[in-house]
Structure 1
């Protein structure tokens, strides 16, 4: 039992994403929203796995991702929270 594979591994692109693929993914998500990642590549016309599309969007293409160096305020917040909570996960 278990889930069926999200995609057929044959014929899918691997490796670096091109600017054209990034644009296709971004335009599709802006038009249709985040939905079923398993069906997104087929609907958007990408030769990528749904997991690859999800990770690309979440880690690199989302408009609300903060890039660049951390500010002094960010560092102070991290130090304060670490002093209060330590390394615990929960």
Structure 2
């Protein structure tokens, strides 16, 4: 399968383009899908990456999807506790 890979921050999902990618997102990895879910909750990509980096520092052995899901859960919990939701 021919495609290109954009360089990303180490340990974070990178965007791949190629034949497997469609408008519906087919061909996306679980980490990419989870990261998109996180991006819908925060203002910019840098913030999303910082949240994942924070989770990585707390759970260094966790896989990428778990780190992203923990970042989403922490964000949602913090927003709920502070009345932002």
User: Is TM (by shorter chain) over 0.5?
Assistant: no
Tell me the TM-score normalised to structure 2 length: 0.31
Tell me the TM-score normalised to structure 1 length: 0.29
Higher strand share: 2
Decide which structure has the larger Cα Rg and report it: 1
